[in-house]
Amino acid sequence: MKRLLPLFLVAMLSSMASFFLFQQLQPSQNEYRPEASSRPAKTYQVQQTLLSNNNAPLNLNFTETVDKVIDGVVHVKNISAYENDQAWWMRNFYGQELPDKIGTGSGVVVSPDGLIITNYHVIEEANRIEITTNDNKTYEAELIGSDAYTDIAVLKIKGNRQFDYITFGDSDTAKVGEWVLAVGNPFNLNSTVTAGIISAKSRDLNQRDNKNQFFIQTDAAVNVGNSGGALVNTQGQLVGINTAITSIGGGFVGYSFAVPSNIAKKVFDDILEYGNVQKGLLGVSGRALDSELAQRFEVDETEGFYIMNLEEGMGAEAAGLQEEDIIKSIDGTKINKFADLTGYISSKRPGDRVEVSFIRNGVLRKAPVILRKLKRKVFFDLEVKNLNREELKSKDLDYGVKINRSFNRMLSLYGIGEDSVILEVNGQPIQDISTLDNFNTNDIDSILFLNSDGERVIFRN
């Protein structure tokens, strides 16, 4: 034990000496000493700054923006009756007097006299529509017009009062990463505002409802009741109509979707001026390219729209576009996927002229194309068009009209959708779309369809 004590003391003294020398030789934690330079060290001051959409300093205080828009968003109540299949058991439960079926959503006032844009699905099948403004005053509203394809409807508040409203912005100039606010009435809570950024544009959800597939994606919280509400930029301008969320439970899961304001405004203007939506089309069909399709079609391009068919008599054919051409841009807007093409064209009307850039045999070309209106009709929530001779021959038919898009969820249960054919209504052959003018929707007893598998299906109303 006596031998260990001197060794322990020596070790302790050595450790203390080493620590003292280390402290003397170690540079200060806040001092920068360049090793191979005699120049004095520079001092840097770091300031953390957040930037706004136009690169100006921003403290993320959105109060001024909210003050501009909060009174321009309203609560929309859809009051309707129960359908026949629901009414049977509801009547057994409640008795002869059935309660009203209530649906709720949001709407955006876009003019001082009370014109409102909302979603079509918010007011679908409504018998009566009520609007509640941010000051808790309730008004009746009338439906001016709607378009199921873009999921947009236009309402008008009854009365002569002046209303606060939100002005349209240019959704084409909105950028990914830009701050936006979602304003609506989720869970029937008036004037709820959430903030986020634009996460993506021209987003295609790959839904099978044949509706608009050109959404602005945002991470601003959107929940049940936000449908039809406003998506605004930091200047308080409307850049989108909040429309959809994608989740199993129907709640917000980190991202949501809005119809771009340029499309919503075009539908709004068309309904007010023409009573319906004027759809200008190129007259092409095909596929958006990726590496797999590029290999299949034996082309070098992996982005763009590959033309597989041209509609007879439409603008693309008249301008000289051909099958196997690859559309790269329209009016300078890049076309990387199908949603880019449909989204841009959805903001145009018949008669508008667009410049199409396309690749043919490896050479980039340009052609002016006049958009034209394809002769189509909406019947029984089905968009139909005439069959040409080749289509009639291929299906071994003498008559019928082709379903181009279906908005009828009930018929989808029967396997009736896109590319099906209406053969007869109430036992009468349908020669072309004009024949359908002879039938009132409420007087339809039966419709004979030919589905896409070639099977004949009778639907009884």
| Backbone φ/ψ region at 351: left (φ over 0), alpha (ψ -120 to 50), beta | left
113 has pLDDT over 80? yes
**Residues recorded for the chain:** 461
Task: Burial-class residue 314 by CB neighbours within 10 Å (0-12, 13-18, 19+).
Answer: buried
Cα separation, 403 vs 339, in Å, equals 21
Q: What angle do CA 316, 272, 160 make, to 5 degrees?
A: 165
**DSSP bridge partners of 325:** none
**Residue range 403-433, pLDDT digits in tens:** 988 888 888 888 898 889 999 999 889 988 8
Do residues 100 and 154 touch, judged by C-beta distance below 8 A? no
Query: How high is the pLDDT of residue 64?
Result: 92
Query: How high is the pLDDT of residue 296?
Result: 92
The top-scoring range by mean pLDDT among 92-96, 136-140, 244-248, 310-314 is: 136-140
Cα separation, 52 vs 441, in Å, equals 52
6 has pLDDT over 70? no
Cα separation, 44 vs 65, in Å, equals 36
Reported confidence tier of residue 213, pLDDT bands at 50, 70, 90: low
Reported confidence tier of residue 216, pLDDT bands at 50, 70, 90: very high
| Backbone φ/ψ region at 165: left (φ over 0), alpha (ψ -120 to 50), beta | beta
Q: What angle do CA 293, 295, 301 make, to 5 degrees?
A: 75
9 or 239: which carries more pLDDT confidence? 239
The top-scoring range by mean pLDDT among 77-86, 87-96, 199-208, 329-338 is: 329-338
Cα separation, 122 vs 151, in Å, equals 9
Residue 164's nearest CA partner among 214, 115, 120, 130 is 115
Percent over 90 (pLDDT), the chain: 44
Lowest-pLDDT range, 102-106, 109-113, 245-249, 304-308? 245-249
Query: How high is the pLDDT of residue 13?
Result: 56
Give 171-274's CATH code, choosing from 2.40.10.10, 3.40.640.10, 3.40.120.10, 2.40.160.40.
Answer: 2.40.10.10
Report the pLDDT averaged over residues 218-245: 90
Beta strands 215-218; 326-330: pairing state:
unpaired
Cα separation, 153 vs 124, in Å, equals 9
Cα separation, 424 vs 422, in Å, equals 6
Residue 13, C-beta contacts closer than 8 angstroms, at least 6 positions apart: none
Do residues 256 and 227 touch, judged by C-beta distance below 8 A? no
99 has pLDDT over 80? no
Residue 35 neighbours by CB distance under 10 Å: 4
Cα separation, 402 vs 387, in Å, equals 6
Q: What is the mean pLDDT of the chain?
A: 81
Residue 307, C-beta contacts closer than 8 angstroms, at least 6 positions apart: 284, 285, 286, 316, 321, 322, 323, 324, 325, 326, 327, 358
Report the pLDDT averaged over residues 390-401: 88
Residue 123's nearest CA partner among 104, 136, 138 is 104
Reported confidence tier of residue 448, pLDDT bands at 50, 70, 90: very high
Cα separation, 222 vs 251, in Å, equals 8
Residue 136's nearest CA partner among 86, 182, 186, 188 is 188
Reported confidence tier of residue 231, pLDDT bands at 50, 70, 90: very high
Cα separation, 19 vs 4, in Å, equals 23
Report the pLDDT averaged over residues 196-216: 73
Contacts of the segment 243-250: beta carbons below 8 A, 24+ positions apart: 243/119, 243/151, 243/215, 244/205, 244/215, 246/205, 250/224
Lowest-pLDDT range, 205-209, 326-330, 371-375? 205-209
Do residues 307 and 326 touch, judged by C-beta distance below 8 A? yes
Lowest-pLDDT range, 99-103, 151-155, 319-323? 99-103
The residues spanned by each domain of the chain are 65-157, 171-274, 284-370, 376-460
Lowest-pLDDT range, 4-18, 52-66, 352-366? 4-18
The CATH number of the domain covering residues in 65-157: 2.40.10.10
Cα separation, 243 vs 277, in Å, equals 19
25 has pLDDT over 80? no
Reported confidence tier of residue 5, pLDDT bands at 50, 70, 90: low
* Single-letter amino acid code for the residue at 169: G
Report the pLDDT averaged over residues 306-323: 91
> Which tokens is 206 given?
């790959």
Indicate the DSSP class of residue 296.
Answer: H
Indicate the DSSP class of residue 314.
Answer: S
Cα separation, 83 vs 238, in Å, equals 36
- Residue found by looking up tokens 């093409």 in the block: 341
3-state secondary structure labels for all residues of 67-121: HHHHHHEEEEEEEECCCHHHHHHHHHHHCCCCCCEEEEEEEEECCCCCEEEECHH
Query: How high is the pLDDT of residue 53?
Result: 47
Two domains, one topology: 171-274 and 376-460: no
Active site residues: 121, 151, 227
Query: How high is the pLDDT of residue 390?
Result: 82
> Yes or no: is domain 284-370 CATH 2.30.42.10?
yes
The top-scoring range by mean pLDDT among 20-29, 50-59, 150-159, 442-451 is: 150-159
Do residues 115 and 161 touch, judged by C-beta distance below 8 A? no
The CATH number of the domain covering residues in 376-460: 2.30.42.10
39 has pLDDT over 60? no
Residue 429's nearest CA partner among 414, 439, 419, 417 is 439
- Residue found by looking up tokens 């779309």 in the block: 433
Query: How high is the pLDDT of residue 48?
Result: 37
